[in-house]
């Protein structure tokens, strides 16, 4: 047999054995025989590099080192899920669905919500092309090299698959593997890992892929996104993914009613403890993908899916002290400092008390015994006080009147739950908080710099605002604690590289109150450059799509302040982008200004995402559902009947893909 054929044959055989062992759990060969065949393949590949294949089973053992993980944008956004905790929540969700879809039968798929690290895998022509962490949902870290070491993830697909698609799943660490890892760590005199979820998540960012390969990670897949996949339901999606070689949990159910959904939830709320993985709830999805398309998305989550969270674990502990934190906007957050207690796999020492009203409502006092749970099993919160354990000398909590950092009297406007420190330019946590926001990933994404570094730079008098970052030198930074020559160089280079960040993200980075990512994009697009925005009136700003009076007032106040104007002027002089790029402006017109489009169905000439971008580039607005404010419904193939019916009832114009392309 020719060498090339021998290598190809071994790869095919090893892929099949790998799938049988790690996905189907039905091995047909001994571990020893598998290792011998793998060793033979490695030797042949080493001797004949001309036959290199990026999807070879030999890559499972790792060995590549990644110093810095590249940040990449998801082609299809990874949304978060809305949570529900009761039958009433689910019934309300079903009613909202029925209002949009009308009186049609709705099926639901129920799948367990596994607790790990979310991942998006892209396959092109049946091969794993890239793997990206969830990140913030819009962009994540490229971790393909590490992901290739996970045996349950196919590097080469089987059967009849689409030419390109993304599949989403959860990287998990089974309990058995987690306990074995901890036994080894304890035997070596090392601290054990706290819980499987955090260990799985941390594994994805290890620099040495060989170290990742030694960890018994698994990947459970649950959703495919992409154009023209040939799939019509979520249930079919799960079945197809299995045939292509993916590990899709068999614990799933197709339900006809919410009562059936609740039966599934109740069963697994009890039996989840028998599973080999961590779970924290059930994900319920509308089964029909056409219905999903009609329901669309909110700004954060799909309207067609809901996570039913299992009842959170509760523990009691003592509240030792209430302290107060100052945020970058001056908002004061009271914090409960607790006697450390183990809760849902992590040690909890602090919990947010939110505001003065919450403290008064629960009558929370220092030295109280309190019940703590993790909200959505993530953020610790105090549920109630054990009044039977309250000390006799207990006194009610008196909320502070002055800023704990700069001692400025606090203010609280009517209708606002928070107290604020108004010393915007002199309060240290507000100053460092704004700089920390400026360098953050969603904003200027400055490499080599973190919150602790900002605190040190401020403490040493090297920065008092984010414009000062651009004057830092390596020589100034090197004397800082834990700062070597290379890290100082990386910091200065990271600041210099940030001048390439586009205008819309710079707008977000400025930290104007109420201006989040979406609003920053709207403002950048409407005004094109910072000079036009700085002279805009409240009335003009309110005329911009989705900009209300509160945001408009905040923007005007920000740019009226001389200190802010001086900082913007300095940033301009350092080359920071304060206008939309020529590339962004190139295809932008006002042809569709004032018009709202709803896009539904499958299109032939452009993808749905391209079509939405064309609407926005030409000044139009993309709506998620048909309403009286909709100007046009752009109808593709297989569009849902309820959207069409609603558009007809409201006299909304229904146009084809060709009609729309002619408009622009």
Using CA atoms, how far apart are residues 276 and 278, in angstroms rounded to an integer?
Answer: 7
Q: State the DSSP H helix or E strand holding residue 385, giving kind and residue range, or none if neither.
A: strand 379-385
Residues with Cβ within 8 Å of 196's Cβ and at least 6 positions away in sequence, in order, are 115, 116, 172, 173, 174, 175, 178, 277, 278, 345
Q: Does residue 113 carry a catalytic annotation?
A: yes
Is 365 within 8 Å of 396 (Cβ atoms)?
yes
Largest CA distance in the chain: 88
- Strand (E) or helix (H) holding 430: helix 428-439
Question: What φ, ψ does residue 340 adopt, rounded to 5°?
Answer: -50, 135
Quote the CA–CA distance of 164 and 127 in Å, as a whole number.
9
| CA distance linking residue 94 with residue 103, whole number of Å | 12
List, in order, residues 6 or more apart from 541 with CB less than 8 Å away: 523, 547, 551, 552, 555, 556
CA dist., res. 124 & res. 507, Å (int) = 36
Return the half-sphere exposure (C-beta side, CA atoms, 13 A cut-off) of residue 259: 0
Cβ-based burial of 345 (10 A; exposed 0-12, middle 13-18, buried ≥19): middle
Q: How many helices (H) and strands (E) does the chain have?
A: 25, 22
Please identify which of the residues 113, 148, 309, 418 carries the catalytic annotation: 113
Q: How far is CA 598 from the centre of its chain?
A: 25
Distance between first and last Cα of the chain: 59
CA distance 171 to 154: 14
CA distance 431 to 424: 8
- C-alpha atoms less than 13 angstroms from C-alpha of 7 in its C-beta half-sphere: 18
Residues in the chain, total: 664
Q: What is the DSSP letter of 517?
A: H
CA 150 to CA 135: how far, in whole Å? 20
Question: Facing residues of 66 across strands?
Answer: none
The residues annotated as belonging to the active site are 113
């Amino acid at each position: 047999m020719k060498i090339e054929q021998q290598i190809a044959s071994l790869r095919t055989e090893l892929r099949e054995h790998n799938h049988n062992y790690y996905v189907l759990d039905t091995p047909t060969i001994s571990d020893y025989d598998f290792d011998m065949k793998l060793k033979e393949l490695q030797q042949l590949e080493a001797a004949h590099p001309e036959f290199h294949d990026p999807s070879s089973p030999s890559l499972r053992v790792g060995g590549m080192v990644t110093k810095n993980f590249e940040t990449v944008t998801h082609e299809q956004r990874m949304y978060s899920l809305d949570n529900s905790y009761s039958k009433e929540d689910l019934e309300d969700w079903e009613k909202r669905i029925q209002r949009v879809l009308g009186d049609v039968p709705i099926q639901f798929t129920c799948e367990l919500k596994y607790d790990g690290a979310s991942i998006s895998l892209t396959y092109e022509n049946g091969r794993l092309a890239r793997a990206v962490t969830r990140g913030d949902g819009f962009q994540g870290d490229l971790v393909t090299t590490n992901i290739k070491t996970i045996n349950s993830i196919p590097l080469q697909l089987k059967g009849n698959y689409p030419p390109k698609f993304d599949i989403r799943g959860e990287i998990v660490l089974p309990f058995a593997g987690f306990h074995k890892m901890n036994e080894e760590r304890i035997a070596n005199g090392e601290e054990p890992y706290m819980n499987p979820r955090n260990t799985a998540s941390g594994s994805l960012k290890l620099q040495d892929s060989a170290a990742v390969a030694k960890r018994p990670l698994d990947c459970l897949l649950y959703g495919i996104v992409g154009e023209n996949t040939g799939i019509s339901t979520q249930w079919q999606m799960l079945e197809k993914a299995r045939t292509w070689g993916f590990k899709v949990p068999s614990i799933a159910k197709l339900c006809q009613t919410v009562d059936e959904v609740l039966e599934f939830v109740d069963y697994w709320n009890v039996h989840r403890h028998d599973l080999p993985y961590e779970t924290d709830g059930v994900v319920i999805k509308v089964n029909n993908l056409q219905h999903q398309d009609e329901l669309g998305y909110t700004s954060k989550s799909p309207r067609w899916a809901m996570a039913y969270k299992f009842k959170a674990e509760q523990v009691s502990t003592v509240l030792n002290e209430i302290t107060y934190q100052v945020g970058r906007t001056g908002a004061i957050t009271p914090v409960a400092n607790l006697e450390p207690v183990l809760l849902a796999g992590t040690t909890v020492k602090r919990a947010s008390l939110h505001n003065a009203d919450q403290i008064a409502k629960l009558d929370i006092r220092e030295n109280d015994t309190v019940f703590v749970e993790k909200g959505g099993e993530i953020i610790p919160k105090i549920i109630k006080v054990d009044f039977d354990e309250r000390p006799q000398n207990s006194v009610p909590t008196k909320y502070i009147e002055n800023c704990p950092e700069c001692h400025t009297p606090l203010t609280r406007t009517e209708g606002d739950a928070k107290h604020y420190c108004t010393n915007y330019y002199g309060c240290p946590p507000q100053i460092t908080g704004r700089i920390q926001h400026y360098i953050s990933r969603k904003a200027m994404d400055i490499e080599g710099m973190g919150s602790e570094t900002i605190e040190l730079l401020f403490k040493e008098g090297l920065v008092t605002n984010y414009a000062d970052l651009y004057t830092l030198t390596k020589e100034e930074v090197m004397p800082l604690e834990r700062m070597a020559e290379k890290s100082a160089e990386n910091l200065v280079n990271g600041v210099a590289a940030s001048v390439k960040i586009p205008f819309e993200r710079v707008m977000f980075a400025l930290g104007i109150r109420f201006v989040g990512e979406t609003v920053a994009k709207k403002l950048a697009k409407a005004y094109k450059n910072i000079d036009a925005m700085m002279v805009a009136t409240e009335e003009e700003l309110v005329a911009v799509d989705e900009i209300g009076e509160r945001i408009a007032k905040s923007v005007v106040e920000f740019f009226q302040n001389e200190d802010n104007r001086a900082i913007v002027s300095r940033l301009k002089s350092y080359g920071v982008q304060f206008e939309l790029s020529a590339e962004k402006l190139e295809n932008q017109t006002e042809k569709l200004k004032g018009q709202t489009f709803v896009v539904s169905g499958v299109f032939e000439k452009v993808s749905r995402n391209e079509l939405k971008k064309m609407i926005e580039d030409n000044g139009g607005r993309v709506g998620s559902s048909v309403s009286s404010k909709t100007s046009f419904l752009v109808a593709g193939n297989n569009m849902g009947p309820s959207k069409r019916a609603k558009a007809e009832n409201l006299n909304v114009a229904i146009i084809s893909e060709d009609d729309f392309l002619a408009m622009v």
